[in-house]
């Protein structure tokens, strides 16, 4: 009989792309249990486990490193304050990402943030040359010898993402950047998996159209 | 039906890849779709790379510092009241106590000095109270007496040797003489002369002390109609100069349980309702409230039963056997 590997999430057609995900999930659950038992040092392990994902999600949704840092800080503060009531209905990763998305939505809907991003967007759109496509998002590619095509595409993608609506940006970030499955996305976005799929399809179409004018 | 280029593009948007062999065949044969497919793959690779981008230096340190700062700030806010209580609990308690006592004292100062009936009842000799209420004993007066005597109204806690409660009945039997003027100052509602229209057809008000012959009977009448007047009647009797025939022949007795725990009470009883000098009676109190008296030989003594019933019943003494000993 073939042993069945049960993952804590519903696998989509691609399955988990990283086998360490299962181990990470167990480590998160253990840290959550320790924290809920009164060991506040366990929270540092949870932050270390999810801080990069949270920051990357925030920076791609907000489009600004400073705002992303602020969002990440606010996310983990909220996590700290409500982690004792976390009941493992979803994985810790899904829960944290959901909080991050909510924080980003709040920041996007705030009047100050809206004004700032609007002006940033106007500046970006007014620049046609590719040298300064997205000054707000540093290119921190791990491979410094990445091809010029990749860097150009990276910058074009960053700009195209900011052209998308926040809803479309969220599903692109969650699915294509953070590699979450549809069920996890449904929990985070509070909608059924079918809605997530259709929204993702429209988002990809919008991204493709946005890229056509930026990345020939 | 063969797939079109639009179908391929829709599949890429919807599925994120070429999921059927037919789609792969079309892409293999269509240069435009090959370019679109390659472009799609590049975009997907770049998006995945975005998920692996380097984060700012000291991200963890900054996040933890911020979280800890916010958490401690929250702790401080949350613990503000607790900390306040912890530090200022003593001074706040003292201040509260002072305000409470000050307020109580202020209320007492502003309160008109009307003699409290309960206090008066407690000061009356027991035999006078029994006389005043003879025939119609009042339960309320009895409870007041029990409270003023600090008696337990329920089953007392067991104790090996209950301390004897001695009350200075001798001092109460001779109340201080209060002049009429000072009475009027202290309690005008009780001692001021009655208005003319209220006394029409009646004799003018005279202090009870000035009419000793009527005091006792009048006091009984007032006691029967007005509980508050009982104190006045008793006071009138006490203030009246005692004559030989009216002088209360009261004696002090102690009532104590024959065995086991129970109240130890000193009572001032009329001589006819008390044992002979140096004698001891046994008082049997049934749960139903009936009272029986026996002498040392176990012989029933029925004469004082009614008086003792009237005196002891309002005290709510638990049922049982008690020893009534005459002290004076």
pLDDT tens-digit map of B147-156: 433 434 444 4
For the ranges A207-216, B157-166, B302-311, the one whose mean pLDDT is highest: B302-311
Which residue blocks in chain A are alpha helix, DSSP H? 20-36, 42-62, 65-82, 92-109, 111-126, 148-163, 166-172, 182-189, 193-212
Do residue A13 and residue B52 have CB atoms under 8 angstroms apart? no
Confidence (pLDDT) at A114: 59
- Which DSSP symbol is given to B221? H
DSSP state at residue A84 = G
A22: exposed, middle or buried (Cβ count in 10 Å: 0-12, 13-18, 19+): middle
Q: What is the pLDDT of residue B93?
A: 83
A110 vs B: CB within 8 A: no
- Percentage, residues of chain B above pLDDT 90: 6
Q: Report the C-alpha gap between A64 and A158 in whole angstroms.
A: 11
Token pair, residue B133, equals: 């209420």
Percent pLDDT > 70 in chain A is 69
Q: What is the pLDDT of residue B79?
A: 52
Across the interface, whether the CB atoms of B56 and A69 are under 8 A apart is answered yes
A12 close to A181: Cβ distance less than 8 angstroms: yes
Residue B46: which of A69, A150, A202 has the nearest Cβ?
A150
Of A53, A60, A73, the CB nearest to B63: A73
B250 and B307 Cβ atoms separated by less than 8 Å: no
Residue A204 pLDDT: 93
* pLDDT one-digit tens code per residue, B266-281: 888 888 888 888 788 8
**Residue B300 gets which letter from DSSP?**
B
Q: Does A178 touch chain B (CB under 8 A)?
A: yes
For residue A56, which residues of chain B lie inside 8 Å, CB to CB?
A: 50-51, 53, 55
Question: Which one of A73, A77, A177 has the shortest CB-CB distance to B47?
Answer: A177
CB A177 within 8 A of CB A56: yes
In this complex, do A55 and B56 lie within 8 Å of one another by their Cβ atoms? yes
Q: ipTM of this predicted complex?
A: 0.73
Interface of B with A (CB under 8 A): 9-10, 12-16, 19, 40, 42-44, 46-56, 59-60, 62-64, 66-67, 70-71, 74
Of the segments A14-28, A166-180, B198-212, B244-258, which one has the largest average pLDDT value? A166-180
Contacts of B9 in chain A (CB under 8 A): 208
More reliable by pLDDT, B162 or A54 = A54
A142 with B54: CB under 8 angstroms?
yes
Complete edge-to-edge strand list for the sheet that includes strand B291-294: B265-270, B250-257, B320-326, B280-285, B291-294
Summarize the confidence of residues A38-54 as an average pLDDT: 90
H, E, C per residue of B255-284: EEECCCCCCCEEEEEEHHHCCCCCCEEEEE
pLDDT band at residue B218 under the 50/70/90 scheme: very low
Note the pLDDT of residue A62: 92
**Candidates A76, A149, A157; nearest CB to B47:** A157
* CA–CA–CA angle A54, A59, A60 (5° rounding): 100
- Which helix (H) or strand (E) covers residue B131, if one does? helix B126-132
CA distance B53 to chain A (A): 6
Contact call for B51 and A43, based on CB within 8 A: no
Q: Are B253 and B269 in contact (CB under 8 A)?
A: yes
* pLDDT tens by residue, A100-126: 999 999 999 885 555 555 545 444 444
Taking CA–CA distances from A48, the nearest residue in chain B reads B60
Contact A201 B14 (CB under 8 A): yes
Q: Do B42 and A208 touch (CB under 8 A)?
A: no
Q: Which of B42, B53, B54 sits opposite A153 (nearest CB)?
A: B42
pLDDT for residue B328: 75
Out of A152-161, A173-182, B123-132, the most confident range is A173-182
pLDDT score recorded for residue B87: 66
Confidence check: pLDDT of A13 > 70: no
In this structure, what CATH number is given to the domain that contains residue A35?
Answer: 1.10.1740.10
Scanning every residue of chain B, which has its alpha carbon at the shortest distance from the alpha carbon of A73?
Answer: B63
Sort B76 into a burial class: Cβ within 10 Å, 0-12 / 13-18 / 19+: exposed
pLDDT in tens, B74-112: 665 555 555 555 667 778 888 889 999 999 888 888 877
Cα–Cα dist A196/A186, whole Å: 6
pLDDT for res A24: 66
- Which of the residue ranges A81-90, A116-125, B192-201, B245-254 would you say has the lowest mean pLDDT? B192-201
Cα–Cα distance, B290 to A187 (Å, whole number): 79
Among A108-122, B80-94, B194-208, B216-230, the range of highest mean pLDDT: B80-94
SS3 content of chain B, % helix, strand, coil (to 5): 55, 10, 35
Question: For chain B, what is the mean pLDDT?
Answer: 67
Q: How far is A206 from chain B (nearest CA, A)?
A: 9
Q: Is A108 on the interface with B (CB under 8 A)?
A: no
User: Do residues A86 and A32 lie in contact, with contact meaning Cβ atoms separated by under 8 Å?
Assistant: yes
**What radius of gyration do chain B's Cα atoms show?**
46
Burial class (CB in 10 A: 0-12, 13-18, 19+), B133: buried
Mean pLDDT rounded to a whole number for chain A = 77
Chain B contact for A52 (CB, 8 A cutoff) = yes
The pLDDT of residue A112: 58
Domain assignment present for A4: no
Q: Which of A23-27, A73-77, A164-168, B320-324 has the lowest average pLDDT?
A: A23-27
CB-based contact (8 Å) between A207 and chain B?
A: yes
Q: Nearest residue of B to residue A50 by CA position?
A: B60
Chain A residues with CB-CB distance to B44 below 8 A: 176
| Euclidean distance between CA atoms A130 and A64, whole angstroms | 18
What pLDDT does A72 receive?
94
**Residue B201: pLDDT band by 50, 70, 90 thresholds?**
very low
Residues 6+ apart with CB under 8 A from B307: B130, B269, B270, B272, B273
Q: Give the three-state DSSP class for B112.
A: coil
Partner B contacted by A193 (CB < 8 A): no
Look at residue B140 and tell me whether its pLDDT is greater than 90: no
Q: Which helix (H) or strand (E) holds B66?
A: helix B59-78
| Max avg pLDDT among B69-83, B121-135, B168-182, B279-293 | B279-293
Report pLDDT for B198.
42
Does A10 reside within a domain? no
Average pLDDT over residues B117-144: 47
Residues A177-200 have a mean pLDDT of 92
A55 with B49: Cβ contact below 8 A: no
For residues B50 and B218, which has the higher predicted lDDT (pLDDT)? B50
Min Cα distance B29 → chain A (Å) is 22
User: Which residues of A are less than 8 Å from B42 in CB distance?
Assistant: 149, 153
pLDDT of A17 over the 80 cut:
no
- Our CA-based measurement puts residue A60 at a distance from the nearest CA of chain B, in whole angstroms, of 9
pLDDT tens figures, B62-73 = 999 888 888 777
Tokens of B159: 């104790």
Q: Residue B199 has what pLDDT?
A: 41
> C-alpha distances in angstroms, B41 versus A92, A153, B3, B38, B112?
30, 12, 20, 5, 98
Domain presence at residue A7: no
Closest CA to B283 of B266, B268, B298: B298
Q: So what's the pLDDT on residue A46? A: 92
How far is Cα B82 from Cα B115, in angstroms, rounded to an integer? 46
CA nearest A101: which of A23, A175, A14, A211?
A: A175
The yes-or-no verdict on residue A179 having pLDDT over 70 is yes
Residue of A nearest to B73 (CA): A77
> Of A65, A153, A201, which is closest to B13 when you measure between CB atoms?
A201
Quote the pLDDT of residue B80. Answer: 53
Q: Print burial letters for B257-295: b (CB count within 10 Å at least 16), e (below 16).
A: beeebbbbbbbbbbeebbbeeeeebbbbbeeeeebbbee
Residue A122 to chain B, least CA–CA distance (Å): 23
A216 touches chain B (CB under 8 A): no
B18 pLDDT tier (thresholds 50, 70, 90):
confident
Asked if residue A5 is part of any domain, the answer here is: no
Domain span including residue A98 = 20-212
Question: Mutate which of A49, A71, A73, A175 to disrupt the B interface (most B C-beta within 10 Å)?
Answer: A73
pTM for the whole structure: 0.47
* For residues B247-251, average pLDDT: 67
Total number of domains constituting chain A = 1
Are A76 and B56 in contact (CB < 8 Å)? no
Q: Is residue A195 part of a domain?
A: yes
Domain-embedded: residue A153:
yes
User: Taking 70 as the threshold, does the pLDDT of residue A145 lie above it?
Assistant: no
């Amino acid at each position: 009989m073939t042993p069945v590997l049960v993952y804590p999430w519903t696998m989509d057609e691609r399955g988990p792309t990283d086998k360490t995900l299962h181990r990470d999930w167990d480590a998160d659950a253990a840290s959550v249990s320790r924290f809920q038992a009164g060991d506040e040092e366990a929270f540092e392990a949870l932050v270390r486990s999810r801080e990069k994902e949270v920051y990357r999600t925030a920076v791609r949704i907000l489009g600004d490193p400073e705002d992303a840092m602020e969002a990440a800080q606010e996310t983990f503060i909220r996590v700290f304050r409500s982690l004792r009531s976390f009941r493992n209905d979803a994985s810790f990763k899904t829960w944290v990402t959901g909080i991050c998305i909510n924080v980003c939505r709040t920041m996007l809907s705030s009047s100050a943030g809206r004004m700032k991003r609007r002006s940033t967007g106007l500046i970006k759109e007014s620049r046609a040359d590719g040298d300064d496509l997205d000054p707000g998002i540093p290119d921190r590619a791990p491979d410094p010898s990445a091809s010029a095509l990749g860097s150009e595409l990276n910058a074009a993608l960053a700009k195209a993402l900011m052209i998308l609506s926040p809803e479309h940006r969220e599903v692109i970030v969650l699915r294509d950047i953070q590699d979450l499955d549809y069920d996890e996305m449904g929990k985070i976005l509070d909608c059924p998996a079918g809605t997530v799929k259709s929204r993702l399809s429209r988002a990809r179409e919008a991204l493709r159209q946005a890229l056509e004018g930026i990345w020939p | 039906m063969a797939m079109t280029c639009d179908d391929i593009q829709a599949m890429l948007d919807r599925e994120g890849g070429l999921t059927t062999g037919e789609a792969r065949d079309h892409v293999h044969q269509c240069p435009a779709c090959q370019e679109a497919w390659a472009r799609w793959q590049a975009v997907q690779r770049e998006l995945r790379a975005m998920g692996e981008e380097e984060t700012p230096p000291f991200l963890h340190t900054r996040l933890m510092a911020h979280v800890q700062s916010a958490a401690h700030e929250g702790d401080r806010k949350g613990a503000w009241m607790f900390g306040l209580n912890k530090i200022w609990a003593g001074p706040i308690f003292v201040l509260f106590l002072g305000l409470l006592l000050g307020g109580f004292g202020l209320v007492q100062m502003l309160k008109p000095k009307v003699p409290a009936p309960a206090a008066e009842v407690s000061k009356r000799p027991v035999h006078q109270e029994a006389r005043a209420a003879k025939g119609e004993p009042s339960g309320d007066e009895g409870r007041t007496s029990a409270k003023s005597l600090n008696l337990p109204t329920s089953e007392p806690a067991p104790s090996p040797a209950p301390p004897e409660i001695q009350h200075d009945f001798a001092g109460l039997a001779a109340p201080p003489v209060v002049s009429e003027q000072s009475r009027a100052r202290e309690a005008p509602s009780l001692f001021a002369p009655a208005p003319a229209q209220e006394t029409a057809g009646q004799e003018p008000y005279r202090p009870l002390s000035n009419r000793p012959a009527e005091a006792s009977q009048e006091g009984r009448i007032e006691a029967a109609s007005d509980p508050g007047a009982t104190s006045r009647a008793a006071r009138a009797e006490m203030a009246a100069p005692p004559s030989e025939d009216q002088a209360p022949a009261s004696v002090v007795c102690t009532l104590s349980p024959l065995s086991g725990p129970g109240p130890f009470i000193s009572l001032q009883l009329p001589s006819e309702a008390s044992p002979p000098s140096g004698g001891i009676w046994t008082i049997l109190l049934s749960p139903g409230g009936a009272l029986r008296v026996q002498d040392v030989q176990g012989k029933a003594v029925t004469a004082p039963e009614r008086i003792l019933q009237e005196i002891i019943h309002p005290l709510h003494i638990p049922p049982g056997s008690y020893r009534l000993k005459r002290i004076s």
